[in-house]
Chain A
Amino acid sequence: MILSPYFYSQAIKLALSQIWANRKRSLLTALGIIVGVASTTSVIAALSGLKTSVLTEFESFGANRIYVFPDRPDDKPRNLYPREKIRIKPWEVRELQASCPSLRAITPVTEFGVSIASDERELDGITVVGIWPDWHEAENRRVISGRKFNGIDEVGERQVCLLNESAIDELRLPSDAVGSHILVDGRRFLVVGVIETLQARMFGGDSNTAELFIPFSVAIKLQSTEFFLRVVALAKSAEVSEEAKSEIQRTMRRIRGIQPGDPDTFRAEAIDRYIDQFKTLASGITAIAAGIVGISLLVGGIGIMNIMLVSVSERTREIGLRKAVGATPAAIMMQFLLEAMVLCLAGGLVGVIIGKLFAIGLTLIPGARLENADVPMWAVFLSFAFSAAVGLGFGFFPALKASRLDPIEALRHE
């Protein structure tokens, strides 16, 4: 039995006029759907806004940055991998620099605690960081006055340093500290530049700690021979960051002579990993929101079923008449299914509109990092799909009941 396009247009028209004629009742009935769709789309909007700002954050953080650490395989005995064996050595970093064409910049970073002093003050246990000049590019840290490190500082093992503003404060140095001298572990260092303070970021990076940087070549002389270092590298672009990571892995395995099948004794990690973790978290929240919508749609669906049963019994005579003039059971069934679906879709539409308005409201909250909150297209489609499915699912039983009415009995109904 094929129903004509005219049938469908009339059925939808009838459904709309039914909803309009009983608008209060329809509104109350669709409330479950409206609330469900509105709350879920709002949550999704908030999440998508958060995601956009977090991703932009990561982007400025450097999505193409790669870190390399020494790493002891978890499942192997400790004594097989002593500290000295897994420790990254400066020559390994130079080898990486030479062998990884996808890298734009690479630097070892070594940190150790010393006491430092100015004419005014002495501070204990300050973390000093030894770096190559490439560090400026790899970590994207600019100097706000003075100059960056250069190759001569490194090769000449010059006793120069960079400070951030809180280090200047703590040492009571003049605010333009360039040209001052400080003592690091008893040696005289010239302040050549002031490094910009890290902006407060959502993840990591405490801006208020004092930071002190010295050339790497100088830093290793101030430490024991078994000093520890990590590597910060920057891929040429985000697109080649995966490639850069595997270049690093290949090179490290080669120079450490790791046999195929043996585990890595180091770990190379791109910032993407953290993005992935955030995405996992966000999709977890989305799933929970979907669960909530599931429950409210179930509740809404029961309301729909109830109202459709009422509608069928109210319109029993009409159903009888339609059958008498030639409506098949399938046509009656389809008409009531469409009616339930139109009701649910109307509820879904109202819900989506409320969700959209809510999303606009979110963008206006100052400091909430939700400037980009919006209901994504897929959530709109999904809301409609869910609403239609609820109409279909919960409208089925009433529609079946209508389709099975006996025309004569239906026409005799009061």
Chain B
Amino acid sequence: MIRVRQMKKIYRVGEEEIRALRGVDLHVGKNEMIAVMGASGSGKSTLMNIIGCLDKPTEGSYELDGHDVSKMSEASLALVRNEKIGFVFQSFELLARQTALENVELPLIYSREAGLTSRERTRRALHALNRVRLADRVSHRPNQLSGGQKQRVAIARAILNKPAILMADEPTGNLDSVTTTEIMEIFRQLHAEGQTVLIVTHENEVAAYCQRVIRLRDGLVLSDLPVAQDQAGQVIA
């Protein structure tokens, strides 16, 4: 499903070169649920952005669903983001003036599917809201929702186009532990329904919902272990 080989990302800030990724190899299979962990600045977000087609690697290849994405044009990448990727952000990123339903429908504006009726759009958005158990907050605006509810709207938006991969960069970073559990239950549910999930987190409780944990350090993969072994190692360390 996802195959990353020798991926490097170098940022240039003035004279300085910042090597955010220094040669990452990674394989993600269908219907895996993976946590990406590591210290701050280790390159987690950089890796996620490239996998999410929001950014391009400086070097290396990236294959998504059998297509080499690393050399695509901006417009084609936008299409890939629209159809194959669902992204969940730490700070939700909902449009303040739009209702939950309208926020969820957003990706359809840019969809290639011509001739969707408004009824069909609403049906799909309602279905997505249902899957995150938020069918009773359809016409609320973001400022009328709790943090956990906002993140559920964001997840519904991410899964609307049935993406090949659902990615989340610290989705629970702004939430308390009760709400974190609530959000992780939703990810677990989506995974159970067949969704491939990739989550960046600092929290072991979040990683515990996953099957596999990839740890980064200084732009390299430090370890890539099943969750049980990883958690055991953490306890020892």
A residues touching B (Cβ–Cβ < 8 Å)? 1-2, 4, 6-7, 10-11, 17, 21, 317-318, 320-331, 407-408, 411
Contact = CB atoms under 8 A, between A and B. Distances in A.
A7 B74 CA distance: 19
The 7 closest A-B pairs by CB, nearest first: A326-B82, A326-B110, A328-B78, A325-B107, A328-B75, A321-B93, A327-B110
27 contacts: A1-B75, A4-B113, A4-B114, A4-B115, A320-B93, A321-B106, A324-B54, A324-B87, A324-B93, A325-B87, A325-B107, A325-B110, A325-B157, A326-B78, A326-B79, A326-B81, A326-B82, A326-B83, A326-B110, A326-B111, A327-B109, A328-B75, A329-B74, A329-B75, A331-B110, A408-B49, A408-B55
A6 B118 CA distance: 9
Contacts of A330: 75
Interface residues of B, number: 30
A7 B95 contact: no
B97 interface: yes
Contacts of B109: 4, 6-7, 10-11, 327, 331
B78 A327 contact: yes
B89 interface: yes
Contact of B110 (A17, A317, A328): A328
A285 to B, nearest CB: 46
Interface in B78-130: 78-79, 81-83, 87, 89, 93, 95, 97, 106-111, 113-116, 118, 121
B54 A17 contact: no
A7 B89 contact: no
A318 B83 CA distance: 19
Contact of A6 (B87, B95, B116): B116
A317 B83 CA distance: 21
A4 B113 CA distance: 8
Contacts of A1: 75
Nearest to A10: B109
A7 B83 CA distance: 16
Nearest to B87: A324
Interface of B: 49, 52, 54-55, 74-75, 78-79, 81-83, 87, 89, 93, 95, 97, 106-111, 113-116, 118, 121, 157, 161
Contacts of A407: 54-55
A410 B158 CA distance: 18
Contacts of B89: 411
Given A6-B121, A408-B49, A324 B81 contact: yes
Contact of B106 (A17, A322, A408): A322
A330 B107 CA distance: 15
A110 B60 CA distance: 103
Greatest chain A CB density within 10 A among B108, B109, B118 is at: B109
B116 to A, nearest CB: 7
Contacts of B118: 6
A46 B163 CA distance: 62
A8 to B, nearest CB: 10
A187 B97 CA distance: 98
Contact of A325 (B74, B97, B106, B116): B106
A357 B21 CA distance: 66
Nearest to B92: A321
B110 A322 contact: yes
B64 to A, nearest CB: 14
B34 to A, nearest CB: 20
Contacts of A317: 93
B115 to A, nearest CB: 8
A215 B116 CA distance: 87
A2 B79 CA distance: 12
A245 B83 CA distance: 75
B39 to A, nearest CB: 20
Contacts of A322: 106, 110
A324 B95 CA distance: 13
Contact of A4 (B52, B81, B97, B111): B111
Contacts of A408: 49, 54-55
A323 B107 CA distance: 10
A326 B110 CA distance: 6
A101 B81 CA distance: 82
B79 A328 contact: yes
A326 B107 contact: yes
A26 to B, nearest CB: 15
Nearest to A3: B110
Contact of B97 (A10, A21, A327): A21
Contacts of B78: 323, 326-329, 331
A318 B93 CA distance: 8
A67 B75 CA distance: 72
Nearest to A7: B109
A2 B113 CA distance: 11
B110 to A, nearest CB: 4
